[in-house]
Amino acid sequence: MRSLRTFAIAAAVVAAIMAILVGFAFAGSRSELASGTQVAGVDVGGMTKREAVAKLDTLHERRSAVSVDFSAGGETFSLAPNQLGIQHDWSAAVAAAARAGDGFGPLRGFRRIRARVFGAEVLPELVVSNAALEYALDQISKDVDRRPRSAAIVRRGLRFRVAAGQSGSRLDRDAAAEVLVRTLGRLERKPGATALPVRITPAPVTAEMLAGAAARARTAVSAPITLKIAQRRFRVPRWRIAELLVLPRDGALKLAFGGAAADAYFGNLSDNVGRPPRDAEFAVYGESVQVVPARDGLELNVPRAARTMLRAASRPTNRVATLTVVREAPERTTADALAMGIDTRMASYKTYYSGTTDRVTNLQLGVRELDGTLVAPGGTFSLNEAIGERTEERGFRPAPVIIGNEYAEEVGGGTSQVATTAFNAAWEAGLRISERHPHSLYISRYELGRDATVYWPSLDLKFVNDTDAWVLVKGFAEGDGISIAIYGGESRRVESSATPLVVTGSVEVERVEDPTLPKGKQVVEEEGSAPTRTSATRKVYSADGELIRSETWTTSYEGEERVVRVGTKVAPMKTKPVPKAADDVAPPAEPAATPTAPRP
């Protein structure tokens, strides 16, 4: 045992000595890099640090503009290191390679043996332009990224087929960026294109998933279907069923009836089998009012009808769909109308046509628009809201209007006469008038102090229904004028009076020079008028004679300028004749000889 132990120790000592000797044998020079050392794929073994850095710099300058091919999604893309602004720290990489093959004595030898046998590669730290890298990835993604496409059912006439879906693809940007930088950072290039990582996205809906829907679609158009609604029947042909079908798309797997064709079809069907509800209305006959009863409507439940028809179309036999209509109640029932308490005419007022044909058209359109306006107890009637904006698209026409104290022309001219008519109807009905604007100029055809004007949207005519019943405003376009009547449930008596017009100032005069008139001559072109003022008083009594209100409205009218043309033409001056010079005077003519009678 002692001999064996002695032998083993001796062998270990010999092996250690041999290993040290081998380590020293392969230790080489510390100034040279170990054999088998690579930096960025370039063999720099046996070189000094300076030589290795110089070689790497030279190769980088030579290859920085050389493109490298990359493949993704069946496409090939070429990029050069300088396109991404790639830079290397060669000195740091060579120093790291030197440290990997360095050490004391035999340890350096063993490290160099390992590098010689297995190789030792150092990758330098790289600097890259992030903006350039993102741009390159964007360009690659444009050609690689593709949305998956689901399988779909395609109809041609009455035939259906299933179009296969297609998987999608998407560039893995993070992994692709690492591959691009690492590959372009190497100086030694491999043949062929370097693959970039791409993720494949399967189609959400495959052809197998749509097989059942396609079979149901073929069944749906295999024969006509019959619709039963009450005592009526309708036949829906195969081609119509095909038009109504909405085939599965965007991941859906079921058939449905829908789309523009279905909307049009069910709209026509609803009109054919249904009817709209009719609200209770008011018919006026002179001073009395009658309620026209409401009528329920009949409405087809379109979503339910579509589902019922689809179930019938999905059956190979018994292809009958029984549809039902439901009653649709009116918004204002007969009971509602009777409860509103409108049973008598409170007042009516009429004004007569004047002006152009376009102005008359505006008057007629205005009263038609406000006709039938209902005002709840405590509610306010607004003429602007009742008529709406006056535009040519709605049929209003340009006609004269008063703006300030001048006449102009605007679309809707004449609506102020509608306002005056409505104002006087409310005045005679005894309703409280909350907003009224008089004309700026006096108009003699209206009652003193009882005119009104409106202008969209700033000037309005408003009155309040201060009775306990609803109020109905009716407008009439008659042969010689317009009239507005107010109906309600309360009769009031109104006493009215007005003061004569009082002149409140002098007529302003505008003188216009006229070079065609002789100087000193004046011609009155427009007479003008002085500003005036009047007051209208109204006393409103209830049906039993109790005074409800007494009020006085004072109205001031502006005057119109008197326009006088003043002559500025100067008469030509009369001139005396200038005598001629002596040399220019012709000699007097000799007297003509007169015959004399012979002497006896």
> d(Cα 187, Cα 177) in Å, to the nearest integer?
18
Q: Judge contact between 476 and 484, C-beta under 8 A.
A: yes
Residues β-bridged to residue 453: none
Q: What is the DSSP string of 46-59?
A: T-BHHHHHHHHHHH
587 alpha carbon, distance to own chain's centre? 102
pLDDT at residue 218, as a whole number = 94
Q: Judge contact between 289 and 342, C-beta under 8 A.
A: yes
Q: Which of 367, 351, 387, 348 is nearest to 486 (CA)?
A: 348
225 alpha carbon, distance to own chain's centre? 42
Q: Judge contact between 384 and 366, C-beta under 8 A.
A: no
* Domains of the chain, each with CATH number or no CATH: 23-66+82-143 (no CATH), 144-201 (no CATH), 209-337 (3.10.20.800), 340-567 (no CATH)
- Give the 3-state secondary structure of residue 566: strand
How are beta strands 232-236 and 245-246 bridged, if at all? unpaired
Q: Judge contact between 89 and 106, C-beta under 8 A.
A: no
Q: Judge contact between 179 and 197, C-beta under 8 A.
A: yes
Q: Which of 227, 273, 264 is nearest to 243 (CA)?
A: 264
Give the other-Cβ count within 10 Å of 291's Cβ.
17
Q: Which of 187, 9, 35 is nearest to 108 (CA)?
A: 35
> d(Cα 64, Cα 66) in Å, to the nearest integer?
6
Q: Which of 219, 306, 223, 318 is nearest to 270 (CA)?
A: 306
247 residue type, one letter = L
Q: Judge contact between 461 and 380, C-beta under 8 A.
A: no
User: What number of CA atoms fall less than 13 Å from residue 414's CA on the CB side?
Assistant: 25
> d(Cα 160, Cα 31) in Å, to the nearest integer?
80
Question: Which letter does DSSP use for residue 270 in this model?
Answer: H
pLDDT at residue 592, as a whole number = 43
pLDDT at residue 142, as a whole number = 93
pLDDT at residue 24, as a whole number = 43
pLDDT at residue 262, as a whole number = 93
Q: Judge contact between 161 and 51, C-beta under 8 A.
A: no
> d(Cα 410, Cα 367) in Å, to the nearest integer?
18
Helices (H), 322-356: 334-339
Helices (H), 371-469: 383-387, 415-429
Give the other-Cβ count within 10 Å of 386's Cβ.
20
pLDDT at residue 18, as a whole number = 59
pLDDT at residue 192, as a whole number = 87
What predicted TM-score, i.e. pTM, was given to this entire model? 0.59
> d(Cα 131, Cα 143) in Å, to the nearest integer?
19
Q: 528: burial class by Cβ within 10 Å (0-12, 13-18, 19+)?
A: middle
Q: Which of 344, 375, 281, 280 is nearest to 489 (CA)?
A: 344
> d(Cα 246, Cα 223) in Å, to the nearest integer?
18
Triad 494, 499, 502: Cα angle to 5°: 155
Triad 563, 569, 570: Cα angle to 5°: 145
pLDDT at residue 378, as a whole number = 97
Q: What is the DSSP string of 211-269?
A: HHHHHHHHHHTSS-EEEEETTEEEEE-HHHHHHHEE---TT----EE-HHHHHHHHHHH
Q: Which of 342, 52, 63, 340 is nearest to 188 (CA)?
A: 63
568 residue type, one letter = T
Triad 244, 250, 254: Cα angle to 5°: 50
Token pair, residue 191, equals 């043949």
> d(Cα 280, Cα 344) in Å, to the nearest integer?
17
> d(Cα 266, Cα 204) in Å, to the nearest integer?
32
pLDDT at residue 589, as a whole number = 46
Q: 43: burial class by Cβ within 10 Å (0-12, 13-18, 19+)?
A: middle
Q: H-helix or E-strand containing 134?
A: helix 130-144
pLDDT tens, residue order, the chain (600 aa): 777 777 667 666 665 565 554 444 444 555 677 676 777 777 777 788 787 788 777 887 777 888 899 999 889 999 988 888 887 777 887 777 666 655 545 555 545 555 555 545 666 777 788 899 999 999 999 999 999 988 899 999 999 999 988 999 999 999 999 898 888 887 777 788 999 999 999 988 988 999 999 999 999 999 999 999 878 899 999 999 999 999 887 777 889 998 999 999 999 998 888 889 999 999 999 899 999 999 999 898 899 999 999 999 999 999 999 998 888 899 999 999 999 999 999 999 999 999 999 999 999 999 999 999 999 999 999 999 999 999 999 999 999 887 766 778 899 999 999 999 999 999 999 999 999 999 998 888 999 999 999 999 999 999 999 999 999 999 999 999 999 999 999 999 999 999 999 999 999 888 898 898 888 888 998 888 899 999 999 999 999 999 999 999 999 999 888 888 988 888 776 666 666 554 554 455 444 443 433 333
Question: Which letter does DSSP use for residue 149 in this model?
Answer: B
pLDDT at residue 187, as a whole number = 75
> d(Cα 200, Cα 220) in Å, to the nearest integer?
36
Q: What is the CA radius of gyration of the chain?
A: 54
